[in-house]
Amino acid sequence: MLIPEIPIYSRPFTLSTVIMVQYKLYYFNGRGRAEVIRLIFAVAGVEYEDIRIGHEDWPKHKASMPLGQMPVLEVDGKKMVQSGAIGRYLANKYGLLGSTDMDKYWADVYGEMFEDMSKKYPFAEKDEEKKKELMKQFLTVSVPEALLKMEKLYVDNNNGKECFLVGELSVADLAFMTFMDFLVPMKEDILGGVPKLAALYKRVREVPKVQAWVSKRPQSQF
């Protein structure tokens, strides 16, 4: 019996037929708004070019960036902008948004909560005394209050089960870890009032591919 040849468009893909996407990530020499993107690549096992531009060299590159800011992800020569949008695009592509539409919704909710908290950090304050007071408010009131609300959502949504934010590892967990990596050096016990989130932070950092990236990434304050 002759087996008909499978048309080329219905044949299974092999390594020889897959065209690899070429990624270039442009950002400053720090974690900042690019770190979640780097973590997605690390967890997904995707290769990319991590292009770090010094602040002294930034004026030479600014005009080449679509919005005059970074991070920028270049995908096969096409430049993508806005860190949140890039992160969601990659998370969706590499299975890090959760399994259901509701998972994806909650991943976005947590992401917006981190963004709301970060906006209260007094980056732009020039007066040192005022900045000191605002920092105290940020670390002892604003963030702890927001984390208490987040922990309740996390516990309620997962029926108290010890797991990741939407059950399975997602971009929300990577964003949470990135935010905590920024805060913990400032206030070691920042997660002291939220034991479930403290355990989550440890759980995310112990994911083997996350751990591997953290062990080799360039050291920076932010």
One-letter-per-residue 3-state SS of 187-199: CCCCCCCCHHHHH
pLDDT on residue 116: 96
pLDDT on residue 8: 35
Q: State in Å, rounded, how far the first CA of the chain is from the last one.
A: 66
pLDDT on residue 11: 41
- Percent of the chain topping pLDDT 70: 91
Give the start-to-end residue ranges of the domains of the chain: 23-93, 101-207
pTM of the entire structure? 0.89
Q: pLDDT tens-digit profile of 166-215?
A: 999 999 999 999 999 999 999 999 999 999 999 999 999 999 999 999 99
| Higher-confidence position of 153 and 1 | 153
Helix (H) or strand (E) holding 106: helix 101-118
Phi-psi region of 99 (alpha: psi -120 to 50; beta: other; left: phi over 0): alpha
pLDDT on residue 173: 98
Distance CA 76, CA 56 (A): 27
Over residues 10-32, mean pLDDT? 73
Q: pLDDT tens-digit profile of 50-66?
A: 999 999 999 999 999 99
In this chain, the answer to whether the domains covering 23-93 and 101-207 adopt an identical fold is no
Residue 73 CB partners (closer than 8 Å, separation 6+):
23, 24, 25, 26, 37, 79, 80, 86, 90
pLDDT on residue 19: 60
Q: Which fold has domain 23-93?
A: Glutaredoxin (3.40.30)
pLDDT on residue 81: 98
How many Cβ atoms sit within 10 Å of the Cβ of residue 167?
Answer: 15
pLDDT on residue 14: 44
Q: pLDDT tens-digit profile of 84-94?
A: 999 999 999 99
How many Cβ atoms sit within 10 Å of the Cβ of residue 91?
Answer: 25
In this prediction, residue 221 has a pLDDT band, given cuts at 50, 70 and 90, of confident
pLDDT on residue 6: 37
Which of the listed CATH numbers 3.20.20.140, 3.40.190.10, 1.20.1050.10, 2.60.120.10 matches domain 101-207?
Answer: 1.20.1050.10
Over residues 37-52, mean pLDDT? 98
pLDDT on residue 20: 77
